[in-house]
Amino acid sequence: MRGRGLKILRVAGAAVVFAGLTAALVDFRGAVPGLVGHTFASIQFVPSAVALATGAGVALACLVVLAVTFAVGRIYCSVICPLGILQDLATRIAGWIWPKKRPRPYRPASTIVRQAFLWGAVVGVAAGWAGLTLSLLDPYSVFGRIAADLFRPAVTLVNNALVGTVGRFTGEALYRVAPAWAGAGALAVPAAMLLFVAGLAAWRGRLYCNTVCPVGTVLGFVSARGAWRLAIDQAACRKCGDCLRVCKAQCIDLRHGVIDASRCVDCYNCIGACSEHGIAYRWSWTRPRAEPATATAAAAPIDLQRRAFVTASAAALTTAAGVGSWAMTRVVAEVAAGPSSAPPADTSPNRSDVICPPGAGGVDQFLNRCTACHLCLSACPTHVLQPAFLEYGFAGLLKPRLDYAGAFCNFDCRRCAEVCPDGALSILTLADKQVTRIGAAQLNLDNCIVKTKGTDCAACSEHCPTKAVDTVPYGNNLRLPQVNADLCIGCGACEYACPAKPRKAITVAGRRTHERAIRRVEEKAKDPRRAGEFPF
Amino acid sequence: MNTRREFFKTGLALGAAVSLARWSRLSAAESPTPVVPAPGPESPRSVLVAVRDGTRTAMVDKALASLGGIGAFVKAGQTVCLKPNIGWDAPPERGANTHPELVGHLVRLCLAAGAKSVSVFDNTCDQWQLTYEHSGIAQAAREAGARVVNGKDESLYREVDIPGGVKLKRALVHTLVLDSDVLLNVPVLKHHSGTGMTAAMKNLMGCVWDRGFYHQNNVHQAIVDFLTLRKPTLNILDAYHPMVRNGPRGKTVNDVVEMRTLMASTDPVALDAAAAKMLGLEPAGVAYIKIADEMKIGTMDLARVEIRRFSLA
């Protein structure tokens, strides 16, 4: 009964985390409070580690995860990690589609593959590609993109179909929303990952977690040395194989009566499956150097594994150091040489072709810290945040950027920073956000309708929240836009609103390092009426 | 100039005859009395009611009483579309949107007059849910019993011909505007960096899906063109604390000046002309008011308007 209880706890915990995160990520109408997504995202291992390592916040979740893993195993992988839970769902659905009882025999660990991915990640981080490496390999971020980029628009379509069946004016309870599909390039990555991860899960359970996922490898390294581990009571075991049928990780070596704790994700399926109650937690911790007494049969392979591990580690660390110093010299050289291509209209040396969200500090810092989980994309009420494809370059693959073609950044909103779990976006006070210059408006009056057509327009000035874009009298009772660069924060309202075709008359150039705009304070306005209280 | 004006005159007289017949036929299905006659060359003088120094609800009650009560505009069983200005994600005190108190009160009056339904919407400039909520209008309308309808759902718009239009000849118009028996235009008075000012006529830009088309094709003409498609049953202007600079979005409460005024008229041109004076502008200096006058949508010559002035102080 104790075994079933553990499994119920595991499933309940996973359901809560998965439901909360999924709700926040597929939220297509701003219904889920930012705190929900932020909370469940902040307990994820990699975002928390990034925040802690960069000093963006006192993010202790990663240390708690390590401690729990050391104590009782990889509960993180079964309860907290949404990609792990997604794989369990995929395995289950595959089981419904192909219902034959497929045997899941013990398979030895793919130590080489695991370490290749882990050290690949370490080398990537050391080489100054932390943002890209972690965004590709962090299981939470992989899930975030699947949910935000694929599930969210799909759910939106279902919603719209539902609205269609109910009627036209359904009011506020149910309404149509334009599905937020990312561009083809940015969409291809999560789509491929979904197929890959779900395919592996359908085929062999938690294979992804025990080969590709570097978090799984790190936690596996810890859990293999953990205090309490699941163990088989040799006296009770009849070697019936019931546990093998339910094991997701294929980590039960029944022949030797050993469970490979480095791959066990603590799903507790085996405990309930064992009719002899032969599987339970057992105090297993021993001092690292005093272990040969345990199992002579298992000693040789473990030693080999350890040797391979140490060799690989040494090789990887050397490579990392080498690549890291090479990257550093390049950065230094680039800084010395200045930007490689001449900027077109905007002459600021701080110009960037891509615009990153307020709170990021600047493009470089942002790309280093953001793991592209896309929680902010789902939270952004205007959907001005779109996943980049190669706009930032390869290092910025899938990272959020502001796209003013279809929306602009709401002046009074900070939701992206409120949900961000890894400190890539720090929460500015609203007053600070409203003077943070992420870009600067560039006016090209040759394209402006007021000039080209000789009619009023000023849609740019109309939308400008700081009145950096204002109008001045022009021609015969017309108003011509004018930009006061000091006041501009680069929110993109002007660019979005500009109706000039084929080229807009006002566009926003990004700022590589965010700047501070001036807030112009105006006195109380005077009554413009010329005569009396009814001037007519 | 003269021939152009005459062309408009005859064209509009014909157009008005056709369109009025159409609208009265529409409302005839619901009730025997047609909507309030729109002022034209042959109709009696436009009436403009201007009330000051009261609360918004007291002022609108006074204005409506002077015009024959809400029952003169809303009959039992009719569907009402109430179109406030809900353009910007700003709180009521900034004066960027029609005040929620006025919207809520009008919804209650319409329902009390027996309206079958009252729907509220706008094609907002800022993100629509934030704008609906922070303007206070969604909550006020909801609590008063109105349907708050999405103005950002293209499927709720229908493409129609605008035969009287000079620039705007065809447009996607919100079906609430096309199909409701009563159209209540409830704008707010503001300075506007593009058109000089915004009040009654410009507020109807939010009935159309593609705002960009207006800006591309002489915004003033397009604003007036829309009025040839459907003129509001009644226009009620919130000028309690108009935004007198940095419009139409405004920056802070310092941009508004308390004038504690409300005006109502079936003639949107006369209403806008009076509104222009509130902002210290000459009506003829606001291009769309001048065009509307020329196209005989109404009159901007306030000397030809019956103005009923009330002070509740």
pLDDT tens digits, residue range A52-69? 998 887 889 999 999 999
Is A533 within 8 Å of chain B by CB?
Answer: yes
| Chain A residues with beta carbon closer than 8 angstroms to that of B129 | 29-30, 381
pLDDT for residue A342 is more than 80: no
B77–chain A nearest CA distance, Å: 18
Q: Tens digits of per-residue pLDDT, B116-141?
A: 999 999 999 999 999 999 999 999 99
pLDDT for residue A332 is more than 90: no
| Chain B residues with beta carbon closer than 8 angstroms to that of A407 | 127
Interface touch B244/A499, C-beta < 8 Å:
no
Residue B303 burial by Cβ neighbours in a 10 Å radius (0-12, 13-18, 19+): exposed
Interface touch B134/A471, C-beta < 8 Å:
no
* Percentage, residues of chain B above pLDDT 70: 86
Structure confidence at residue B43 (pLDDT): 61
Interface touch B251/A410, C-beta < 8 Å:
no
Torsion of CA A496, A497, A500, A502, to 10 degrees: 30
Q: Where are the alpha helices (DSSP H) in A371-448?
A: 375-379, 415-419, 430-433
Interface touch B194/A455, C-beta < 8 Å:
no
pLDDT for residue A331 is more than 80: no
Count other Cβ atoms within 10 Å, centred on residue A468.
26
Q: Which candidate from A168, A453, A456 shows the least CB-CB separation from B194?
A: A456
The one-character DSSP state at A269 is H
Q: What is the mean pLDDT of residues A228-247?
A: 93
Handedness of CA B249, B250, B252, B257 (dihedral sign): negative
Return the closest-CA partner of residue B234 out of B93, B69, B30.
B69
The Cα A386–Cα A378 span in angstroms is 10
The Cα A527–Cα A60 span in angstroms is 56
The Cα A436–Cα A441 span in angstroms is 14
Interface touch A176/B285, C-beta < 8 Å:
no
The Cα B90–Cα A360 span in angstroms is 25
**DSSP element (H, E) containing A142:** helix A139-145
Q: Which candidate from B156, B193, B245 shows the least CB-CB separation from A462?
A: B193
| Chain A residues with beta carbon closer than 8 angstroms to that of B304 | none
| Chain A residues with beta carbon closer than 8 angstroms to that of B150 | 175-176
B298–chain A nearest CA distance, Å: 17
Interface touch B254/A524, C-beta < 8 Å:
yes
Q: What is the DSSP string of A74-90?
A: -HIIIII-HHHHHHHHH
Phi, then psi, of B111 in degrees rounded to 5: -65, -40
Most B CBs within 10 A among A385, A456, A487, A501, hence the mutation to make, goes to: A456
| Chain A residues with beta carbon closer than 8 angstroms to that of B142 | 172
The Cα A45–Cα A62 span in angstroms is 5
Q: Are A440 and A346 in contact (CB under 8 A)?
A: yes
The Cα A313–Cα B308 span in angstroms is 89
Is B272 within 8 Å of chain A by CB?
Answer: no
Q: Are B254 and B280 in contact (CB under 8 A)?
A: no
The Cα A214–Cα A119 span in angstroms is 8
Is A466 within 8 Å of chain B by CB?
Answer: yes
Is A473 within 8 Å of chain B by CB?
Answer: no
Phi, then psi, of A147 in degrees rounded to 5: -70, -45
Give the chain A residue whose CA is nearest to the CA of B303. A536
Is B134 within 8 Å of chain A by CB?
Answer: yes
Interface touch B148/A171, C-beta < 8 Å:
yes
* Percentage, residues of chain A above pLDDT 70: 86
At A313, is the pLDDT very low, low, confident or very high (cuts 50, 70, 90)?
low
Give how far the C-alpha of residue A438 lies from the chain's centroid of Cα atoms, to the nearest Å.
21
| Of B177 and B3, more confident | B177
Mean of per-residue pLDDT scores for chain A: 89
Q: Tens digits of per-residue pLDDT, A371-414?
A: 999 999 999 999 999 999 999 999 999 999 999 999 999 999 99
B282–chain A nearest CA distance, Å: 10
Cross-strand pairs, B159: B172
The Cα B302–Cα B50 span in angstroms is 12
B17–chain A nearest CA distance, Å: 31
Torsion of CA A266, A269, A271, A273, to 10 degrees: -170
pTM of the model: 0.87
Q: Which candidate from B156, B219, B280 shows the least CB-CB separation from A529?
A: B280
Q: Tens digits of per-residue pLDDT, A454-498?
A: 999 999 999 999 999 999 999 989 999 999 999 999 999 999 999
Q: Backbone dihedral region of B14: left (phi > 0), alpha (psi from -120 to 50 degrees) or beta?
A: alpha
pLDDT for residue A170 is more than 90: no
Structure confidence at residue A316 (pLDDT): 58
Structure confidence at residue B10 (pLDDT): 54
- The three-state DSSP-derived secondary structure of chain B is CHHHHHHHHHHHHHHHHHHHHHHHHHHHCCCCCCCCCCCCCCCCCCEEEEEECCCHHHHHHHHHHHCCCHHHCCCCCCEEEEEECCCCCCCHHHCCCCCHHHHHHHHHHHHHCCCCEEEECCCCCCCHHHHHHHCCHHHHHHHHCCEECCCCCHHHEEEEECCCCCCCCEEEEEHHHHHCCEEEEECEEEEECCCEEECHHHHHHHHECCHHHHHHCCHHHHHHHHHHHCCCCEEEEEEEEEECCCCCCCCCHHHECCCCEEEEECCHHHHHHHHHHHCCCCHHHCHHHHHHHHCCCCCCCHHHCEEEEEECC
pLDDT for residue A306 is more than 60: no
Q: Tens digits of per-residue pLDDT, B21-77?
A: 444 434 434 443 444 445 545 567 999 999 999 999 999 999 999 999 999 999 999
pLDDT for residue B269 is more than 90: yes
The token pair at A39 is 């909370």
Q: Tens digits of per-residue pLDDT, A443-452?
A: 999 999 999 9
Most B CBs within 10 A among A455, A491, A498, hence the mutation to make, goes to: A455
CA distances from A14 to A10, A142, A150, A206 (A): 6, 17, 21, 15
Is A470 within 8 Å of chain B by CB?
Answer: yes
Q: Are B118 and B110 in contact (CB under 8 A)?
A: yes
Is A477 within 8 Å of chain B by CB?
Answer: yes
Mean of per-residue pLDDT scores for chain B: 90
Interface touch A529/B126, C-beta < 8 Å:
no
Interface touch A529/B307, C-beta < 8 Å:
no
